[in-house]
Copies of this chain bind each other. A is one copy, B any other.
Amino acid sequence: MRIGALAAATGTTTKTLRFYEQAGLLADPPRTPGGYRDYPAHSQARIGFIRSAQAAGLSLAEIRDVLAIRDGGQPPCGHVTELLDRHLADVEHRIAELEATRDMLRALTRTASATDPATCTEGDICRILTAH
């Protein structure tokens, strides 16, 4: 299967697949006599794996490490468990931060609706944003 077909089958682009190869997520595939990349069928599963791992919030570098462990013949379970725990903590932290931002934005929009534009002065640039 050539690169365009693999891209179409996995919902990616040829550019992305070459990028994954260069980034070490995909091994250099065999080539046709004409020099075209010729992927085996199981490359689809590998791209699918990359997509699910990305959806779980792993970076390409982390996914590359998981794949390297598997490619080395080891089941990557321990490593993955560790990664997942770290990411869960990270995501929870980011959610908490965003919730704080959300609360701040809500307070600011309340301020906005209660603020008479005429009372704004040049000195404070914008009363709405400096009220907190």
Contacts and interface: CB of A to CB of B under 8 A. Distances in A.
A16 interface: no
Given A87-B105, A98-B98, A123-B42, A80 B117 contact: no
Contacts of A127: 77
Contacts of A84: 105, 108-109, 112, 128
Nearest to A101: B57
A112 B52 contact: no
Interface of A: 42, 45-46, 48-49, 52-53, 55-57, 66-67, 70, 75-78, 80-81, 84-85, 87-88, 91-92, 94-95, 98-99, 101-102, 104-106, 108-109, 112-113, 115, 117-118, 120, 122-130, 132
